[in-house]
Structure 1
């Protein structure tokens, strides 16, 4: 009995820890439901998804939101979103509701819908940026008119059993809770209005619930060792090994092969790690006061373009970044006393889209960091990252004993840039 209780305790603790990310301790998606007006048999509400996660966004094909009505509510109409099924509305005569299902499923509309179907922050195909990447694009909203719902704060019942797919599993939503009513500013910003009733639902992400295996891996190399530490074998599981495609396969020229559908299995390039994404960290140069790293991200999935991609890295020297050459960079300070984590993401219209597997399926940048003379060393793998996340999922790192080691007999190559320039000028003058 003691063994069973201990096992259950470990399982519970593991489940909670899997939903808690130490690099983003406050990250969540909050669903805010604001009742804006009463109708003869219900209300009109604005529903907003706020993505408060620093480096995990909702990527294509977007979010899917579901819940269970507390009574016999129906959805008369929606603006900025739609339900995937209407359900049985046969008992209604004349005007037929948009949805009569007890458990409606709602999706965002695609860009380009007519203006009268649009709502503020809607119609992006369910794609929502991470809060740390672009706060202005981390919101998605729609309007819903609910009938048979009660017409006052006392008669309205909160929906239950909220579910969020974004776009796949991994999110667990808590119960709806009534909170102080939201305040709004009128367009001229001269008057403040207030929602008639507001409730919130908080959804948190767990990579453990999302998938059994990682979705990315990390390989390592350095200027001081010819050895390349590859991703671990089957780092992302080898269940797709039978369906993988070689880079010269004729199947890749078939029409529609690169089009991603919501229920498609990934079509991966055959590799020993079988990961959709590989991140490579290369220690490139060691200057006197600085050191330089090259970061490359390679896509091995023939069916997936990664838009709005993010790369979060934990390393103690990220607090002294001097320059990032072809990615955007933002420090992530999860705790006041620790500044060892940063987020890299693409430059708009340049490399913010990571193409599917193939010749263009990679992006790369170099990072220049000033040395902290008290801690900097190339020994014992210090120069390699502690954690790496791609699109919010933690990548598998090689075991530390496989890292490129620093040869004991060889001195560390130093490159003194000012001396190099002076020497070059001297040679030019002499010549």
Structure 2
């Protein structure tokens, strides 16, 4: 049996327990006071280095704060591949004595970040969420695109500061490391100089000040941002404004000399619960008046008849009206409308380079006053076989002025105007809509379009190899559909003693292809034949093509069966071609006249001649007779990875023979006439 504990020792143990308990209570009380949000909290906040930098900043103060993160599934042993959910905030504070217009802030993310939600701003490039921003991203203010100055607002932070709430996923950076961006800076408006940001633990900040050496353009007489230049622009003009609705006019302008749109589809995102009540000059693909009865808008507008409502979707799809509705008093009768979604380059027809439609938009609380006007965000536009556009967010510009409809000299400004600027982006690999094949007189094989040049479906790759280079072909194989070329490709490989892969390479997947064939090479000049093949059940109306050459562009002489012209800046070294009158339509693929034969693509071709006098150093044998870029209806076509090589039976350059070029051109014209007589 254990000996009893002496009384003195028991008193000592009890006293120590009481002291320990008091220590815990005191510590908790101190912690309670520290988190109480009282004056001490504010004093500690003022001691932070970013607060001191903010107080001394006379410009625009930017700040990025990493808040927290948590490990996501799957949980991996490889730390660099482990995903983490993170939260962060960014802020833009105007500390100047003047307003900050259309602010844009760049955050240089560097840990493969994927943004899932963003509050207080939008992505400038219009990307949908979730968005991969591993290379950095630019935020634009929404709904606060402009920040007022402190003097005119009595220091109201809600008017001079914008805060961005960021939630997303990032990879790598083991704890206790803090995954911070490379940099932060102000990208708009121009004329600000941002130093390298300062980083303190999980906070990064910088004070951007006006650059005294910056020479601004001619001062804008208004308080709005100047309109931007772009390949394609949208104008969003509010013509009439009521407390709960407004009338808007949308104008689409194509400014690029080598781009167009066919059967355009326009979409955007309503951010504040708006819906389209009526439209003229265009229509939505889904007219869901009855379905709107179950929308949040119907819960507010209880006495409104939703039967005639056009659309309540958050992301409506808008298309152009056909020409026969142009004078329709109910849905048409809007200038520049109703061209079936066709927008041509202004160099072809200025009257067909603009589209316009009007719509009545109903608003939702809390925007129920005449001045609460917000344009939709996330604008996107696409066409049949057309360029890919990247559109920015709407920027507030000076109100558009419209001439008096009665013919008087006066003009009427819009209630408010915004501009959306879109620029053409080069198609990603295997994402083109057309492709090019190369051939030449000095090699009897054709270099076909690349494998999966326009993409490969998952079903197709199960029976073919999407990563194998396309097989060289005999010239006649270009005239038949790809699915019928296998036998010819195998036979050609057997003749040439080439190994035939198994499985075979996949198709190019393109609905339109172009063959560029170097016909000849003489001391006086050289010539090519360009043939366009349409493999789709679709007619290309008023088609055009553009070819960018290298240094030998200066030798360009003539295009014989197309209308061909030289282009100026910024498309130097480029030849623009379109169909001559009567041949402006590229017909679709048709069935053969004889049953059992291959389908026949729609095609047009022309000879293009070049003079060596103006380009004496061109070496055709080394492949300098092939273009650097090829466009069709504004879409950049995928070029082959290789060019035809000179074979042992290469022809020697002969005496000047422009007559042979003329004969070749005449043969092309004869073929075109014969094809037209068959129709």
State if a TM-score over 0.5 links the two structures: yes
1:21-62: CA deviation from partner (whole Å, max 9, x where unpaired): xxxxx75321111122334643222111112233232223x3
Within the candidate set 554, 557, 564, 1:329 is matched to: 564
| Counterpart in the other structure of 1:107 | 319
Q: Tell me if structure 1 keeps the 8 A contact 2:110–2:134.
A: no
Within the candidate set 236, 241, 262, 1:59 is matched to: 262
Within the candidate set 437, 440, 454, 1:219 is matched to: 437
Q: Tell me if structure 1 keeps the 8 A contact 2:437–2:639.
A: yes
Q: Tell me if structure 2 keeps the 8 A contact 1:31–1:48.
A: yes
What is the distance in 2 between the residues matched to 1:320 and 1:33? Answer: 45
| Counterpart in the other structure of 1:194 | 413
Aligned-pair distance for 1:128?
A: 1.8
Q: Tell me if structure 2 keeps the 8 A contact 1:281–1:384.
A: yes
What is the 5 A alignment of 1:336-415? 339-356=572-589, 358-359=599-600, 361-371=602-612, 372-400=614-642, 402-405=643-646, 410-415=651-656
Within the candidate set 498, 517, 522, 1:282 is matched to: 517
The 1:74–1:354 alpha-carbon spacing in structure 2 relative to 1, beyond 3 Å, is: same
1:144-199: CA deviation from partner (whole Å, max 9, x where unpaired): 122336564x4212322333343599444321111112233346584443322210
Unaligned runs of 5+ in 1: 17-25, 245-266, 422-431
1:293-351: CA deviation from partner (whole Å, max 9, x where unpaired): 210011223x333334332211133344322222233434343xx72122322235423
189-198 vs 79-88, greater mean Cα deviation = 189-198
| Counterpart in the other structure of 2:270 | 68
1:216-274: CA deviation from partner (whole Å, max 9, x where unpaired): 22222223443333334444444374899xxxxxxxxxxxxxxxxxxxxxx97555544
Aligned-pair distance for 1:123?
A: 1.5
What is the distance in 2 between the residues matched to 1:125 and 1:274? Answer: 26
1:136 pairs with 2:351:
yes
What is the distance in 1 between the residues matched to 2:260 and 2:275? Answer: 31
Within the candidate set 57, 63, 78, 2:279 is matched to: 78
What is the distance in 1 between the residues matched to 2:241 and 2:137? Answer: 41
The 1:14–1:407 alpha-carbon spacing in structure 2 relative to 1, beyond 3 Å, is: farther
Larger-gyration structure (1/2)? 2
The 1:269–1:311 alpha-carbon spacing in structure 2 relative to 1, beyond 3 Å, is: farther
Aligned-pair distance for 1:140?
A: 1.2
**Structure 2 length-normalised TM:** 0.49
The 1:269–1:14 alpha-carbon spacing in structure 2 relative to 1, beyond 3 Å, is: farther
Q: Tell me if structure 1 keeps the 8 A contact 2:110–2:135.
A: no
SS in 2 for 1:112: helix
The 1:150–1:162 alpha-carbon spacing in structure 2 relative to 1, beyond 3 Å, is: farther
**Structure 1 length-normalised TM:** 0.74
The 1:268–1:223 alpha-carbon spacing in structure 2 relative to 1, beyond 3 Å, is: closer
Aligned-pair distance for 1:280?
A: 0.9
What is the distance in 2 between the residues matched to 1:343 and 1:7? Answer: 44
SS in 2 for 1:292: strand
Within the candidate set 247, 261, 269, 1:44 is matched to: 247
1:89-138: CA deviation from partner (whole Å, max 9, x where unpaired): 45443544333444433222222125212111112222222344433212
The 1:216–1:200 alpha-carbon spacing in structure 2 relative to 1, beyond 3 Å, is: same
Give the number of aligned pairs: 382
The 1:88–1:352 alpha-carbon spacing in structure 2 relative to 1, beyond 3 Å, is: same
Q: Tell me if structure 1 keeps the 8 A contact 2:442–2:650.
A: no
The 1:407–1:190 alpha-carbon spacing in structure 2 relative to 1, beyond 3 Å, is: farther
The 1:174–1:295 alpha-carbon spacing in structure 2 relative to 1, beyond 3 Å, is: same
Q: Tell me if structure 2 keeps the 8 A contact 1:241–1:274.
A: no
1:299 pairs with 2:534:
yes
What is the distance in 1 between the residues matched to 2:408 and 2:564? Answer: 33
Could you say what the CA RMSD is over the residues aligned between the two structures, in angstroms? Answer: 3.9
* Structure ranking higher on relative contact order (CA contacts 8 Å, 6+ apart): 1
The 1:132–1:418 alpha-carbon spacing in structure 2 relative to 1, beyond 3 Å, is: closer
What is the distance in 2 between the residues matched to 1:381 and 1:143? Answer: 52
SS in 1 for 2:323: coil
Unaligned runs of 5+ in 2: 1-78, 83-108, 114-131, 139-228, 464-480, 486-506, 591-598, 663-679
